[in-house]
Amino acid sequence: MKNIILGVTGSIAAYKSCDIIRQLKEKNFSVTVIMTKDAEEFITALTLQTLSGNKVYRDLFELVADEYSVEHVSLAQKADLILVAPATANIIGKVASGICDDLLSCVIMASSAPVLFAPAMNEGMYKNKILQDNIAKLNKFGFKFIGPEKGKLADGKIGMGKLAKTDSIIQAVQKILK
């Protein structure tokens, strides 16, 4: 069974991670969720844990009572793929700059597994030249992207920045892991 680390970041599209988990599990993937502090404003760890059937990791410095491991290293080593969905401009910028100030960014930086970002954000943020430069930089280093798509965004406007369809994300995961 392949191990997917699903990074959930602080986007209104975080609720779509529930369907991503469900579909990955239907395809016989093991899913472990790392959620950022900002993601907790949109969805609960209990929901993600219930759906994934695994502990949800949230804090870089969380104490684990049953066994000791350096979480960002052990999680990074067990990953066959890291999927960040939704991926905010913040996490894309951090990884592009080598910043490791939370569990998700540390796991990404410590892992040799492929990383797939599924961006979701406001069109202005997505089209920002700095973000586009960060995406180009990450592409150059072998990071993969799926989406975003044009559609109705959280602000009610139609524009580029909508999270890719779940089916498309799952197909991209399968393609990378073949």
Query: Which pLDDT value is given to residue 68?
Result: 44
Q: Helix or strand or coil: residue 144?
A: strand
The domain 3-177: what is its CATH number? 3.40.50.1950
pLDDT bin (cut points 50, 70, 90) of residue 65 is very low
Query: Which pLDDT value is given to residue 115?
Result: 98
pLDDT at residue 28 is higher than 50: yes
What would the DSSP string read from start to end of 88-102? Answer: -HHHHHHHHHT---S
pLDDT bin (cut points 50, 70, 90) of residue 59 is confident
pLDDT bin (cut points 50, 70, 90) of residue 127 is very high
For residues 82 and 123, the answer to whether their CB atoms sit within 8 Å is no
Omega cis (within 30) before 86? yes
Q: Taking residues 6-19, what's their average pLDDT?
A: 97
Q: Helix or strand or coil: residue 22?
A: helix
Q: Taking residues 161-169, what's their average pLDDT?
A: 98
Cα 12 → chain centroid: 13
Q: What is the pTM of this model?
A: 0.94
Where do the structural domains in the chain lie, given as residue ranges?
3-177
pLDDT at residue 155 is higher than 80: yes
pLDDT at residue 93 is higher than 80: yes
Q: Tell me how long the chain is.
A: 178
Query: Which pLDDT value is given to residue 70?
Result: 52
